[in-house]
Structure 1
Amino acid sequence: MNVFKRQFVFLWVLALVLLVPKGAEAVSLKENGRTTVSPGVVRRELSAKIGGRNHIVDVIQVDLNNPGADLQVMAGAGNYTRKDTVSHMANRTDAYAGINGDFFNMSKQGAPFGPSVVDGKLQSSPLESVGLFAFGIDSGKNAYIESFTFNGRATAQDGAHYKISGLNKTDYIINHTQVPSHKDSIQLYNDFWTAPSRGLRGSGEVLVDGNFVVERISLDKPLPMVTPKGKYILQVNGRAKDFIRNHVKPGQKLRLDYRVSPDRNWRFLIGGHALLVNGGRPQPYIMDAASIDGYRARSAAAISKDRKTVYLVATEGRTKKSRGMKLDEWAATVAALGVEKAINLDGGGSTTLVARGHGDFKNTKITRPERNGAERRIVNGIGVMNKAPKTALSAGEIAGPRHVVLGEVATYKLGKAWDSNYHPIKVENVGYSLTDSTFGEGAWIYSRFLSPKVGKTDIVLTTTGGVKITLPVDIQSPAALKSFTLAAKDSGNTITLAPKGVTKAGRSIAIDPAQITWTVEKGAAKTDTSSWKAPGAGVKEPAAIFRQEKAEGAYVAYKANFGPNTASYVKESPGYAKVRMIVGKKNFTFAGENRTMDTTPVIRNNRTLVPLRFLMEAYGAEVTWDNEARTAIVNYKGHTIALPANKNEATIDGNTVALDVGATIQNNRTMVPLRFIVENMGMEVYYENSDRSISIFQKIN
């Protein structure tokens, strides 16, 4: 070993010592929960504390000993150069979980940096640059993370040969030589590369069929085509062009041999970036990290020491779940999982981890891209596959509310179903019946539960195959409602009122009218609260039907009392004009016409006071003010009423009567007791407590 080599080794060891991540000894992991995704696949959520900050770290843990668990490279929209999101890739390939994969140049056609084996076939070579690693699984389902090289050769019919430098690569700069990747090289492209442009612009190209027969040679410019199915295009530059010019002719054989090393009969292989963990310890990041360090969203693939457990790990960046981690913090966090080796996957805006819930046919995002941004379209990802056989339905989930209100008509159904190996089952193909553990048949109308008593029960769904599924339900009192209303349909003398509510949790509900106390004021009606439940009637809206038999004045009020809640519907009789005011508001209506007052109705001593002039003049009365006597005088239909201010008395056609609340002055307007004025003017009044509205009716002559 010469002096230069000894100095280099010393400096490299020193660098390793100095660059060991500072956070390596300061990671605290706590598991918040875990669930099985599919056989041998577990989803875990962890809280990680490092550098004084808390982060949520999501993990998909895969047991390769389980025959049902396997991994697959998901390539864009099915090929390279056609990028796609992790969610789309996972759903397209029927993956049960998925994570973003290799790094790629966002400005180029769209191919990964590293090697990849897709469906058992090598579809990309590693960059010639040093320091990059890849993650693979061999034919014996053993996981490896190691550095890869590519070996390829093109052999002409005359025996001459030339090195093939890469498979399906964009052009790049080789990091340890600073030489352009495509200089003097043969770059190979198969039909997995779907873009019409390849590698370095302006290069010569050769078309070779699946039997290695040369079909076309174009040394001055690229071939104007995508790579045909089952064929190859060789892109040639510099001395590689001379090789083709001197040794290859159309119609001749050009043998193409290539492989990656190490070659372990890979069933799965995907590239990444530098190592994060080696030998169970976090590693210094040896690749140029200037553009990828900082507090970012992160993702990684890791393996156990026995090569039988795979960890797909991710954390968000610049979200509520995680501010993001620096590379040294990320290495320390992944190492704290107890892994043997880990590789850094693409991060930042590419970071996405998805997984299926039980019974779901599509994946849900668990770890979102940086800043909760939209998913980035990327070149490949890692799919977690469920290879276990499909079986009969074994479990499911009931769709419907867990908290209901007394009297609520709550609909329940089979929401999701899955077999013993977690394959989802279409619920529309499953027959079942519904009941509950407390009340039984009488509390059910079809699939709707009428919640007849406050307390707890279990909704019980039984499939035709005998599988029982339960859902605990809490029945709350009517006090759980935020609002209570009646949806009305008025058809002459038939009034249909559907009780509705909105819970304090914000859920809109329908209510069984038979569990409501109804009253009819100023009239009479036959009441029907149960016909909506009749067999053969189909699924109808819960509603009470009133057949009005008589009205005793300007209106008939249908009132519903439901615990502390009240609601009403007022059916107005013909032949009346109406003024409608609202306590505390200046706007009012007369005969449906919008008007405005300069003061508002008020409530004092439980009496409603209204502006005298605006009310009476709306009906055509004459209202004057005797300033000396401080008395308001109303002349209406031959009657005269005098109302002195601030006195608990009034004079009607010369007769003095006592008032419990007298007229008063507000904002220079005379305010009078509503009930006194309307009762002595032959009017009728209806007060709605729910919105504090006052309806005043006057018979039209």
Structure 2
Amino acid sequence: MNEVSMEKRNEEHTQGGRRLPAKRWIAASLAGVLWIMPVIGSEGLPGWGSTTIPVAQAAASSFTVTKLGEEVITSGAMMMKYKFTTQRSGINATGLADVIRVDLSNPYVSLDVMTGKGGNLTTRQSTGGMAAETGAVAAVNGDYFNTGGEGAPIGGQISSGVVVSTPSQLDGMYAFAVTKDRQPVIDEYTFEGLVTAEDGAQFPLSGINKGAYSPEGGSSTYSHANAAYLYTDAWTALARPKNSSTTPTEVLVENDTITQISLDAALPMAVPEGAYILRTHGLAAQFVKAHLAVGQKLSSVYSLKSKTTQQTVDPASLQMMIGGHTILVNNGKAATFSRSTSSIGGYRARTALGYSQDGRYVYVIAVEDNANSAGMSLTELQSFMTNIGVWKGLNLDGGGSTTMVDRPLAETSTKLTFNTEYGTEQRSIVNGLGVYTLAPQGEVKGIKISGSSALLIGQKATFTLKGYDTYYNPIDLASANPAWVSSGGSATVSAGEVTGVKAGTVTLTATSGAASASAKVTVLGGDDLASLTAGTATAPLAAGASVSVPVTATAKSGATLAVPNSALKWEFVGFKGNVQDGKLTVESVNAGVTTGYAIARYDGFSTAVVLSTAAATPWENFDNVTYPIAFTSNVSSVTGTAAIVAGTAERAGSKVLSLSYDMTAGSGKMYAYAQLNGSSGKSIPAAATSMSLDVMGDMSLNWLRAEVVDSAGATAYIDLAKVIDWNGWKSLNIDLSGSGIKFPASLKRVYVVNVEEGQDERAKTGTVAFDNLSFVMPSLSSEAGLPNGSAAMIIGSKAMMVNGTKKSIDVAPIVKNDTTYVPIKYVLDAFGGSAAWDQSTKKIMVLRGAKALDLTVNKKEFILNGKRQSAEVAPLILDGRTLVPLRLVSEQLGLTVKWEQKTKTVTIES
């Protein structure tokens, strides 16, 4: 038998391989050798057992791809962003995909597999973490894995020329590889191996570093029954593997010599460095007992074989290999799926690999599924890949695992390329594909200014100057003394520190030697903002009260910035106070005032903190619960408990509502409810604009919700957290102003949801807890005492009826372009509130209850409680008096307007 020695791994650039001492690759077939078919694991893999292979659906003819831009990552690697547009059931859908194109003809770039932590299996780490640990300049998540297993890939893996794990015996599972002579390959592989005792007896090897799984096309349901597996020091878990439904006999081999044998029991150790453990069962264990002894030599050989060509593949000829799932593209066209895709269907984030027809380019593909992108189906992914030039391609692990990181030009570390399905949370996975630079340090090629592209007036920001060399890798500019210049008067710059002066755009230019760079910085004015938000919307109106009121601006572009205190002008209505270092303090309250306003203005844009004698109303702290609490679910096999329990740690001495759940026996969309007070729930007595509560998270990545039934009998579902992505206690604040709930209402239950799609990515067991539920109910505080009743005005008449009493007004309401305009003063006189006019800005600020409304003459946009909104009409000036659109103002202030056409009468009610 022709044996080929394994090459020593490249120490300078190893991503997780372990050298297997004295092993040999089989370079010839094992025909004629007694073969015991390996059998596969007890846990099984949901959705992996089907042998039906569906045909890929024809891609929609409406699918279009547009390239948005590209940027060099390093010499030989380019980041390209694409937008796709398609139709789904007659509805347009758009999304984004990110592609790293690697040029294998460039000697300064390489691909390799990243593995867990420290290059080890059974450890798991995020894509970004593995990239940082291994020095990758870009990376994407890799192979599928059993989330309930130890943390090993399902497919084969070769890192830096060293086998880390072998392919599983599953049908239609493709792998991507790059040969030592830098040729890309996509194929299906099987594994063949033998161990040879000192007496010449042999036994087949079934694999290397494999978890338990259910095989396909074999005679057994258990991968490790009657089989021998080899485990290297890359496998760090003590169980080899867990849940295998077999009892092992294990052999420790060091320097090709057997040093320990454990009969019918696992060795109580991890694999020592440089050694391996032969794990056997059944017929394989009989082989050990009959032919192996401590002190004897033991050798092994193994090989890969292409399923498509039946040719033996020498793994020493491969630089790397990573496993995947179905083939997607072949010969530049959508391929028939090589295995069932039922468990990975839907519109999700996707990860894929492919290469060009000439083998020069490798395409590392990630499809986004987030607020900016609608994900893709597998057939859409096929269309996308053929659109961008993929000749042959396969599917990698997608959904919640889809993660891409890249190193921006001139930066020294990678960043998340786009938000995952879980936001900025990166799922811990078993392996990933990294892009590496092999280039030496070059000369300075260019410089790049880094810093915020938007500033606020009065805000200071530090801009840094970073350089890149002729290979597009970062280069240190510490010894340089760059010169900085700012064009225009909207911002000043000194040694990289930029200060916003007034609204406008400036160009920052930095020069270092012969290289220079420019960046545009916009100083945002009030007209550039979409909203202005104080850290708290309500506060107690009492002398000495103090609350934190950091103010955040959201630009129309979506950028959010903390507003510096120096850029804000504060005005206090109904009380005397001050704001120092972002903290509002009430000094004294004006006589008879029950509602006050702290108004923050930034360049004419306002927001308000409403102060009242009762702000957020405590609703339930679970210390003295007298109503029943019960656990329920929509699935009978979901179990759990809901109970009031003693708090621990920072909650010691108080009580909390604890909800524990176990969904492992369930299926489909599953709920775990903590039900309050039977079917009745607990009353929320008045209109609530927001809700706050403390929640102890369990990092389950499940969905957290509350269910409310309102006075009309309608059920409202409130999202408390789309993803439970934290451990320990966290305070949540939920805006209820747009919920449409008719109060009084009842909170019936709080609950955890595990939706069916992507279910393998979330925990099915866990415990969450709730405490300190509060509601902001303005009618119980800031709106208490506002007058009720009705007022009627006739168009053209300078009289108005208020609760049956006639009153004179000095300006008659008018109708212009089918809109009724009135002087706001008289509406507020009747229903409470105040209005202030600013002659210089032509603005009217209306304050009533919990509402702060900013209107501008001749502008249809208005600001309500710090949020810019649009109307169909604008205030106007007539005969020197300011008139406002009655319906707009009244409805924003919580009043009802009725129109009687025959008498031209407007009736306002509260």
Which band: TM-score by shorter chain? 0.5 to 0.7
Q: Is the counterpart of residue 123 in structure 1 residue 174 in structure 2?
A: no
> What is the match of residue 347 of structure 1?
398
**1:282 aligned partner:** 334
Q: 1:242 to 1:600 in 2, by over 3 A?
A: closer
Please state if 1:104 is matched with 2:145.
Answer: yes
Alignment of 1:145-184 (within 5 A): 145-177=186-218, 179=220, 180-184=222-226
The answer (yes or no) to whether the contact 2:113–2:159 under 8 Å persists in 1 is yes
1:418 corresponds in structure 2 to 468
The answer to whether residue 350 in structure 2 is matched with residue 298 in structure 1 is: yes
Which deviates more from structure 2 when the two are superposed, residues 132-141 or residues 292-301? 292-301
State the Cα distance separating 1:153 from its structure 2 match.
Answer: 0.7
Counterpart of 1:611?
A: none
Corresponding residue number in structure 2 for 1:597:
592
Q: What is the Cα deviation at residue 326 of structure 1?
A: 2.6
On the 8 A contact 2:327/2:337 being kept in 1, the answer is yes
User: Counterpart in 2 of 1:190?
Assistant: 232
Residue in structure 2 matching 1:259, options 282, 295, 303: 303
**Percent of matched pairs sharing the same residue:** 30
CA distance in structure 2 between the aligned counterparts of 1:508 and 1:295, rounded to whole angstroms: 36
- Is 1:471 aligned to residue 519 of structure 2? yes
Secondary structure, in 3 states, of the residue corresponding to 2:413?
A: coil
Per-residue deviation, 1:426: 5.0
Asked if 1:63 corresponds to 2:103, the answer is: yes
Q: Which amino acid aligns with 1:62?
A: V
After TM superposition, the structure 1 stretch with the greater mean CA deviation from structure 2, 147-156 or 199-208, is 199-208
- Determine which of 244, 247, 259 is the counterpart of 2:288: 244
Match of 2:290, SS state, is helix
Match of 1:47 among 74, 83, 88: 83
Aligned equivalents of 2:577, 2:455: Cα separation in 1 = 38
- In structure 2, the CA distance between the partners of 1:285 and 1:419, relative to structure 1 (3 Å rule), is same
> What amino acid sits opposite 2:113 in the alignment?
V
CA drift of 1:466 comes to 4.2
Q: Does 1:134 align with 2:178?
A: no
CA 436–63 in structure 1, closer or farther in 2 if over 3 Å, else same: same
Unaligned runs of 5+ in 2: 1-51, 306-312, 533-550, 579-585, 597-807, 809-828, 831-842, 847-910
Q: What CA distance in whole angstroms lies between the structure 2 residues aligned with 1:315 and 1:135?
A: 19
Distance 2:250 2:146 in 1: 25
* Greater relative contact order (Cα < 8 A, sep 6+): 1
Asked if 1:431 corresponds to 2:475, the answer is no
Aligned to 2:432: 381
Q: 2:73 aligns with which of 22, 37, 44?
A: 37
> Is this contact kept in 2: 1:405–1:480, CA < 8 A?
no
Q: Which amino acid aligns with 1:421?
A: Y
Q: Tell me by how many angstroms 1:588 deviates.
A: 9.7
Measured in 2, the distance between the counterparts of 1:168 and 1:31 equals: 41
**Do the aligned partners of 1:21 and 1:329 also contact (CA within 8 Å) in 2?**
no
Cα gap change, 1:108 to 1:445, in 2 (>3 Å): closer
Amino acid at match of 2:339: M
The verdict on how the C-alpha distance between 1:338 and 1:400 changes in structure 2, with shifts beyond 3 A counting, is closer
Shift of 1:597: 2.4
1:245 match: secondary structure: helix
Q: 1:472 to 1:189 in 2, by over 3 A?
A: same
- Measured after TM superposition, the shift of residue 63 of structure 1 is 0.8
8 Å contact from structure 1 (residues 586, 597) kept in 2: no
Cα distance in 2 for partners of 1:476, 1:189 equals 60
Give the whole-Å Cα distance in 2 for the aligned partners of 1:176 and 1:90: 37
CA RMSD of aligned residues (A): 4.1
Q: 1:69, CA displacement in angstroms?
A: 1.6
- Partner residue of 1:461 out of 503, 506, 510: 510
Change (3 A) 1:447 1:510: farther
Matching residue's letter, 2:268: P
Aligned counterparts of 1:237 and 1:114: Cα–Cα separation in 2 = 22
Q: Distance in 1 between matches of 2:69 and 2:329?
A: 24
Residue 203 of structure 1: how far off its partner (Å): 3.0
Distance 1:369 1:444 in 2: 36
Distance 1:445 1:242, change over 3 A: closer
Change (3 A) 1:322 1:401: closer
Computing the radius of gyration from Cα coordinates, the structure with the larger value is: 1
Bigger Cα displacement from structure 2, 223-232 vs 26-35: 26-35
> CA distance change for structure 1 residues 477 and 116 in 2, over 3 Å: closer, same or farther?
closer
**Residues 478 and 238 from structure 1, CA distance in 2 versus in 1: closer, same or farther, beyond 3 angstroms?**
closer
Deviation at 1:427, TM superposition (A): 5.7
Aligned equivalents of 1:349 and 1:321: distance in 2? 16
The answer on whether the counterparts of 1:285 and 1:327 sit within 8 Å (CA) in structure 2 is: no
Query: Is contact 1:480–1:503 with CA below 8 Å preserved after alignment?
Result: no
- Counterpart of 1:683 in structure 2 is none
Distance 1:599 1:86 in 2: 55
Deviation at 1:410, TM superposition (A): 5.4
TM-score, normalization: structure 2? Answer: 0.51
By how many angstroms is 1:415 displaced? 4.2
Give the structure-1-normalised TM-score: 0.65
Letter in 2 for 1:83: R
Name the aligned partner's letter for residue 184 of structure 1: N
Structure 1 residues 202, 473: closer, same or farther in 2, change over 3 A? Answer: closer
Question: Which amino acid is the alignment partner of residue 354 of structure 2?
Answer: A
Q: Is the 8 A contact 2:75 2:471 kept in 1?
A: yes
1:315 matched to which residue of 2? 367
Amino acid aligned to 1:234: L
Partners of 1:142 and 1:566 in 2: CA distance: 61
Q: Deviations for 1:233-260, whole angstroms, at most 9, x for unmatched residues?
A: 0110111111111111110011111232
Question: For the Cα contact (< 8 Å) 1:276–1:331, is it kept in 2?
Answer: yes
Give matches, 1:21-36, under 5 Å.
Answer: 21-23=57-59, 25-36=61-72
Per-residue deviation, residues 213-241 of structure 1 (Å, max 9, x unmatched): 11111121110111110001011011111
Q: Given the alignment of the two structures, is residue 87 of structure 1 paired with residue 128 of structure 2, yes or no?
A: yes
- Structure 1: distance between partners of 2:455 and 2:414: 29
Q: CA deviation at 1:467?
A: 2.8
| Partner-residue secondary structure (3-state), 2:293 | coil
Paired residue secondary structure (1:23): coil
CA contact (8 A) 2:575 2:587 kept: no
| Distance change (3 Å), C-alpha of 1:594 and 1:315 | same
SS at match of 2:286: helix
* Distance in 1 (alpha carbons) for counterparts of 2:376 and 2:526: 49
For the residues of structure 2 that align with 1:249 and 1:205, how far apart are their CA atoms? 13
* Cα shift at 1:338: 2.2
**Structure 2: which amino acid aligns with 1:169?**
K
Q: Which deviates further from its counterpart, 29-38 or 333-342?
A: 333-342
Give the Cα–Cα distance (whole angstroms) in 2 for the partners of residues 32 and 378 of structure 1.
30
Q: Any conservation in 2 of the 1:297–1:325 contact (CA below 8 Å)?
A: yes
Once the two structures are superposed, the pairs formed by residues 490-569 of structure 1 within 5 Å of their partners are 505=555
Q: What are the Cα deviations for residues 247-284 of structure 1, in whole angstroms up to 9, with x where unaligned?
A: 11110011111232322600011111110111111122
Query: Is 1:221 paired with 2:270?
Result: no
Cα pair 1:167 1:189 within 8 Å, conserved: yes
Q: Deviations over 1:497-548 (max 9, x none)?
A: xxxx99895757889xxxxxxxxxxxxxxxxxxxxxxxxxxxxxx9xxxxxx
- Alignment deviations for residues 49-73 of structure 1 (CA, whole Å, 9 cap, x no partner): 2344222121111111111221110
Contact 1:80–1:110 under 8 Å retained in 2: yes
Amino acid in structure 2 at the alignment position of 1:171: A
**Are 1:21 and 1:283, in contact at CA under 8 Å, matched by a contact in 2?**
no
How far apart are the structure 2 equivalents of 1:329 and 1:246?
Answer: 56
